[in-house]
C-alpha cells in the first residue's frame, strides 16, 4: 500500500511519460524530465537557427565566453548542434579579461576548461592590453560610482576588437530574456524612455 502511495506521488514526465519529472518549464508549464528537457531545448535552438537562417556554411563564429552559465551553455549547445547537424561553422571562444581580481580571473578558468572540453580555440583580449588599464585600476581612480557603465562600454568594444582579430563573420552572446527585461527596466528608471 505504502509503495502504491509513493508511486502516485511521483509525477511522471509530461513528454515521455516514463521518467520522473525534474522541472517545470516556465515557457509551457509542462513538468518534464531532465533528458526530455535537454532534447527539446537543443531542438528548439536548432529550429530557431534554421528558421531565421542565422548562419551560413563556412562562416567563422566567435562565442562571447564569460565563463558564466549562459555563455557556457551557449558554447556547449552551438558546438553540439554544429557537429550534429553539420552546420559547417568554424567556432571560436572569445573572452574579455576586464582585470577584475577575484571575479574574472576565476571565470576565465572555466572558459579555459571549455576550450579543452569542446575543442574550441580560445582568444582572450584584456582591457590592460587594449586600453592600458585594468578595471581594478580604473576603479581605484574613478571610484565605484558609474564604473559598470565604463566597464559595459569597454567590454562591447573589446568584443568587437577581439572579433576583428579573429576575423570572424559573426559574434554570438548568451544574452537572454532576463537581460532584455533588465535593460528595459533600467532605461525606464533612468528616464531614458526613447531607448526602449
Ligand atoms: N568578459 C566577457 N567575455 C566575453 N563575453 C562576455 C563577457 N561578459 C559578458 N559576455 C557576453 O555577454 C553575455 C551577457 O553577459 P552578462 O554578464 O550581461 O550576463 P549573464 O547572463 O550573466 O551571462 P553569463 O552567464 O554568460 O555570464 C554573456 O553571455 C557573454 O556571451
Least reliable range by pLDDT among 1-5, 74-78, 177-181 = 1-5
Q: For position 179, what pLDDT does the model report?
A: 87
Task: For ligand 1, pick from 62, 151, 173, 184 the residue to mutate: most ligand atoms within 8 Å of CB.
Answer: 173
Euclidean distance between CA atoms 119 and 113, whole angstroms: 10
Euclidean distance between CA atoms 39 and 46, whole angstroms: 11
Q: In a 10 Å sphere around its CB, with 0-12 CB exposed, 13-18 middle and 19+ buried, how is residue 177 labelled?
A: exposed
User: Do 74 and 168 sit in the same domain of this protein?
Assistant: yes
- Residues 101-115 have a mean pLDDT of 92
Domain with 183 in it: what CATH number?
3.40.50.620
Confidence of residue 112 (pLDDT cuts 50, 70, 90): very high
User: Do 50 and 65 sit in the same domain of this protein?
Assistant: no
Q: Which residues 6+ apart lie within 8 Å of 179 measured at CB?
A: none
User: Do 66 and 115 sit in the same domain of this protein?
Assistant: yes
Confidence of residue 105 (pLDDT cuts 50, 70, 90): confident
User: Do 108 and 11 sit in the same domain of this protein?
Assistant: no
Please name the residue whose Cα sits nearest to atom 28 of ligand 1: 174
* Structural domain span for residue 38: 1-54
Structural domains of the chain, count: 2
Confidence of residue 145 (pLDDT cuts 50, 70, 90): confident
- What Å distances lie between residue 95 and 58, 138, 166, 171, 174, CA to CA? 22, 20, 12, 12, 12
User: Is-contact 47 41, C-beta < 8 A?
Assistant: no
User: Do 179 and 167 sit in the same domain of this protein?
Assistant: yes
Query: Could you tell me the distance, in angstroms and rounded to a whole number, from the CA of residue 22 to the centre of ligand 1?
Result: 27
User: Is-contact 11 20, C-beta < 8 A?
Assistant: yes
Maximum mean pLDDT: which of 71-85, 137-151, 182-196: 71-85
Please name the residue whose Cα sits nearest to atom 15 of ligand 1: 175
Confidence of residue 154 (pLDDT cuts 50, 70, 90): very high
H-type helices in 10-84, by residue range? 34-51, 69-84
User: Do 46 and 99 sit in the same domain of this protein?
Assistant: no
| Residue that the C-alpha cell 537557427 belongs to | 49
Mean model confidence pLDDT for the chain: 92
Residues 38-74 have pLDDT tens digits of 999 999 999 999 999 999 999 999 999 999 999 999 9
3-class DSSP state for residue 11? Answer: coil
User: Do 36 and 126 sit in the same domain of this protein?
Assistant: no
- Residues 146-153 have a mean pLDDT of 83
Amino acid at each position: 500500500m505504502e509503495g502504491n502511495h509513493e508511486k502516485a506521488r511521483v509525477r511522471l514526465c509530461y513528454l515521455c511519460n516514463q521518467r520522473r519529472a525534474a522541472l517545470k518549464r516556465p515557457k509551457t508549464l509542462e513538468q518534464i524530465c531532465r533528458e526530455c528537457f535537454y532534447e527539446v531545448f537543443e531542438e528548439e535552438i536548432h529550429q530557431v537557427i534554421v528558421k531565421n537562417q542565422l548562419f551560413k556554411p563556412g562562416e567563422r563564429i566567435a562565442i562571447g565566453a564569460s565563463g558564466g552559465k549562459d555563455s557556457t551553455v551557449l558554447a556547449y549547445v552551438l558546438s553540439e548542434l554544429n557537429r550534429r547537424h553539420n552546420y559547417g561553422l568554424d567556432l571560436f571562444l572569445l573572452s574579455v579579461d576586464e582585470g577584475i581580481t577575484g571575479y574574472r580571473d576565476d571565470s576565465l578558468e572555466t572558459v579555459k576548461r571549455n576550450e579543452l572540453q569542446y575543442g574550441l580555440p580560445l582568444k582572450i583580449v584584456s582591457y590592460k592590453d587594449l586600453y592600458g588599464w585594468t578595471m581594478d585600476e580604473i576603479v581605484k581612480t574613478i571610484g565605484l560610482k558609474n564604473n559598470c557603465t565604463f566597464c559595459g562600454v569597454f567590454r562591447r568594444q573589446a568584443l568587437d576588437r577581439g572579433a576583428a582579430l579573429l576575423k570572424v563573420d559573426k559574434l554570438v552572446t548568451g544574452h537572454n530574456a532576463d537581460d532584455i527585461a533588465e535593460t528595459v527596466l533600467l532605461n525606464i528608471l533612468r528616464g531614458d524612455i526613447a531607448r526602449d
